[in-house]
């Protein structure tokens, strides 16, 4: 049995940061050398020692990464490209030290109308992140407010820097969360906390967010990205096929009753036995060696 820990250590033992491509410093600054398609509102790169982690940085620093329509179109495109790229195991969405994202762009939507929103399906582009089949991890430093908090909650895991601040302050500007905040937040933190956050617009800090279950781990600001890449790389040591099945099954817990969720889980669990990766994983365990997953 000691071999499981040994195998895990062997798989994870290498330096996880591809420091030649991404450098993090105390400022939280990320330096991109990518030849990836150039976007105006985001930066995209592939990082990690195996170059199997897709990194997306929201890049409207002057507007605290306010989520304008153009940004979300680009974000959706980048997420979909990473989702279909077989070399990519997991995707990270991050911002800068001051802001993950301070919400939907208030200046852009100020003049919106009910009929216009309805006709155009305002915010429909935001669904690409939650539709992604691969694990998406939010690395949150600074403000994650309104749509920024909702974007983080669309991700599968939230890691936070210790100065992160979360909130749904839409009530302060005469509206309500419109990208899942009233639905996902209660599932994370329970009704009473969610009501308090949504009805008062109060911000919560990273430690409180972790205590509530909104955030899974908190790190020093300058360590956040490095630790998030480590997490993505660790996920990337597993079979991509089985990771996808596991993600689908956990997500089902949010979509359905316990009884049908358990049935769904069982069908996915049975389904893993139709894969070569299940055979390989269990054989490797018994033979005390690292598995060689084929995504099949």
Restricted to residues 180-199, the positions that interact with ligand CAA (CB under 6 A) are 181
Contact between 97 and ligand CAA by CB under 6 A: the answer reads no
Restricted to residues 206-235, the positions that interact with ligand CAA (CB under 6 A) are none
Nearer to ligand CAA, 64 or 164 (CB): 64
Q: Which of 89, 90, 101, 104 is catalytic?
A: 104
Cα–Cα distance between 57 and 141 in angstroms, integer? Answer: 12
Nearer to ligand CAA, 144 or 231 (CB): 144
**How many chain residues interact with ligand CAA (CB under 6 A)?**
22
Contact between 142 and ligand CAA by CB under 6 A: the answer reads no
Cα–Cα distance between 291 and 296 in angstroms, integer? Answer: 13
Contact between 104 and ligand CAA by CB under 6 A: the answer reads yes
Partners of residue 219 on adjacent β-strands? 161
Contact between 70 and ligand CAA by CB under 6 A: the answer reads no
Catalytic annotation on 170?
A: yes
Q: Which of 48, 95, 147, 181 is catalytic?
A: 147
Catalytic annotation on 150?
A: yes
Partners of residue 104 on adjacent β-strands? 67
Residue of 39, 82, 100, 143 interacting with ligand CAA (CB under 6 A):
143
Contact between 63 and ligand CAA by CB under 6 A: the answer reads yes
Residue tagged 């316990």 (tokens): 258
What is the 3-class SS of 258-271, one letter each residue?
Answer: HHHHHHHHHHHHHH
Catalytic annotation on 81?
A: no
Nearer to ligand CAA, 4 or 173 (CB): 173
Catalytic annotation on 196?
A: no
Residue tagged 């990690």 (tokens): 48
| Interaction site with ligand CAA (CB under 6 A) | 63-64, 66, 102-107, 143, 145-147, 150, 169-170, 172-173, 177-179, 181
Q: Which residues are marked as active site?
A: 104, 147, 150, 170
């Amino acid at each position: 049995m000691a071999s499981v820990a040994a195998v895990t250590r062997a798989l994870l033992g290498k330096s996880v940061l591809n420091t030649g491509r991404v450098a993090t410093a105390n400022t939280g600054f990320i330096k991109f050398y990518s030849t990836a398609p150039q976007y105006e509102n985001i930066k995209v790169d592939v990082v990690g020692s195996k170059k199997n982690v897709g990194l997306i940085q929201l890049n409207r620093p002057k507007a605290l990464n306010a989520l304008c329509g153009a940004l979300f179109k680009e974000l959706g495109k980048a997420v979909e490209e990473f989702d279909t790229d077989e070399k990519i195991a997991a995707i990270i969405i991050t911002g800068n030290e001051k802001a993950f994202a301070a919400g939907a762009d208030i200046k852009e939507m100020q003049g919106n109308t009910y009929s216009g929103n309805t006709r155009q399906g305002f915010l429909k582009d935001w669904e690409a992140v939650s539709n992604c089949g691969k694990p998406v991890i939010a690395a949150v430093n600074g403000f994650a407010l309104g749509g920024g908090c909702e974007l983080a909650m669309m991700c599968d895991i939230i890691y936070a820097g210790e100065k992160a601040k979360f909130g749904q302050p839409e009530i302060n500007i005469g509206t309500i969360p419109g990208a899942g905040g009233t639905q996902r937040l209660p599932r994370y933190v329970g009704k009473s906390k969610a009501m308090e956050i949504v009805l008062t617009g109060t911000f919560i800090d990273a430690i409180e967010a972790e205590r509530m279950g909104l955030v899974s781990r908190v790190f020093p600001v300058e360590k956040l990205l490095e630790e998030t890449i480590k997490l993505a790389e660790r996920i990337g040591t597993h079979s991509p096929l089985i990771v996808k099945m596991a993600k689908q099954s956990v997500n089902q817990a949010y979509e359905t009753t316990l009884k049908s969720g358990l049935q769904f889980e069982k069908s996915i669990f049975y389904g893993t036995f139709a894969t070569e990766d299940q055979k390989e994983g269990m054989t490797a365990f018994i033979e005390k060696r690292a598995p060689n997953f084929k995504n099949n």
